[in-house]
Structure 1
């Protein structure tokens, strides 16, 4: 098991190549890509090769994934093994609307195509996926119930922000969790310029315990460091790498 870095955290850095070189120097061997980086997959693959990094996982938006053949071609070119849809396809889902069942079925079709191509496919949560419907089902359950081939990349801090217990969900659906986003939450009222997120190991989450629980209760292969709004992406990368090494990841 190894740790990775979600490159969305460094989306405001001037040079992707410089960022990859820095991540490699900090001890990262893997990164997780995101949809905005795939305009030139061959160039991206070369940049990764130049820095000795691999990209076993990536995020692609639902709209991008609907052209499944093109998404799979990107994955083949870059060397991506598993793609996670990072969010629902429209603002309606985030404000209480949106048809989660229809979305889940759409994800299931993509999962089937990825499986047929020898690739993994899954979904990454925020907090929207934990509001129960009239039948007592949460969107994350609808998504995973729609296909046994849809995996779950648990963003643990967003589960906490949804006022849910990550351990409960590991116990319930741990066999579906194949990656975990590692981010931290600042104490109340702090880091407001970073939307209340904190560098891994500097916030309020008990990551040493969570990591041991993840290893025991899930099938997670990847611990992916992420910060949604770092004021300094390299500072975050440095702190996250040090923390994850200290946790024995």
Structure 2
């Protein structure tokens, strides 16, 4: 997830093409061309995609977007909304395409009442989610002191208990604000220290962690086994987003320490991109190669 609500993604002209010719035909042709160099070995890897990357496509057509993702070679998805589609129908299509969704992003605002929580648990069971991830704390909801993050940790523990009782693991996804120093203490460290590891897993966003000036591997060493999920996205020389494998982040070191981290699922993501198909194709290739290597 990103702090940005809008993404250039597809040009207006390209969206018009999709509407005129059918998204499925356009996506299928593009994806087959982009994925033509994927090796057989790479195709056997289970590489995940955070669908927030394709939110402009998802808004247009969830079915055609999932068909595109499957044609590139992805096997796992992480959802960030269903865009008014029935989760049961989405799951049926995923089954046809050979896709699974081990996790989904759900804002805390959507889990503020018992009824809200029950609804999210029901959706997670329909979709087969193992993890429900808290993706982002809006600026107006963020605490200005460590005590506020201690209260957040308490809330996450309680929420985690409810999800665990239903066979689902709660997780937390970071940006960079959680690493800001608050009078000698770091909010992210508070969440790690005060949240029960059995009740809250961590989804480490590698880009935002590096953006904050930190080394993900240092966190793996201090908190082995806590980082069940990763967002794999890259950074260019200016500190902005890049396609995975085309930027400056040392993924070799990170992937080499995957077992230490406790990693189970790796999701390619890029918050903003001018070429969605190229981004997800490059991400699939890069993570497949890293999986093969480590």
TM-score (norm 2): 0.76
1:154 has 2:198 as partner: no
Q: Are the equivalent residues in 2 in contact too, given 1:159–1:166 (CA < 8 A)?
A: yes
1:230 has 2:273 as partner: yes
Deviation digits for residues 142-173 of structure 1 (CA, Å, limit 9, x no counterpart): 22313231110000110011111212111112
Higher strand fraction (1 or 2): 1
Q: What is the correspondence of 1:1-249 to structure 2 with a 5 Å cutoff?
A: 2-13=46-57, 14-35=60-81, 37=83, 40-66=86-112, 67-88=116-137, 90-92=138-140, 96=144, 99-134=148-183, 136-144=184-192, 145-148=194-197, 149-188=199-238, 196-215=240-259, 217-248=260-291
Moved segments of 4+, more than 6 Å: none
Q: In 2, distance between residues paired with 1:131 and 1:203?
A: 24
SS at match of 1:164: coil
Indicate how the Cα distance of structure 1 residues 80 and 59 shifts in structure 2: closer, same or farther if over 3 A, else same.
same
Q: Are the equivalent residues in 1 in contact too, given 2:207–2:235 (CA < 8 A)?
A: yes
Q: Which moved more, 1:92-101 or 1:151-160?
A: 92-101
SS at match of 1:2: coil
TM-score (norm 1): 0.89
SS at match of 2:167: coil
Which stretches in structure 2 are left out of the alignment for 5+ residues?
1-44
Deviation digits for residues 97-125 of structure 1 (CA, Å, limit 9, x no counterpart): 69222222111111011111111111000
Which stretches in structure 1 are left out of the alignment for 5+ residues?
190-195
Q: Which moved more, 1:48-57 or 1:121-130?
A: 48-57
SS at match of 1:87: coil
Deviation digits for residues 193-229 of structure 1 (CA, Å, limit 9, x no counterpart): xxx20000001112122111223x1111001100011
Aligned residues: 240
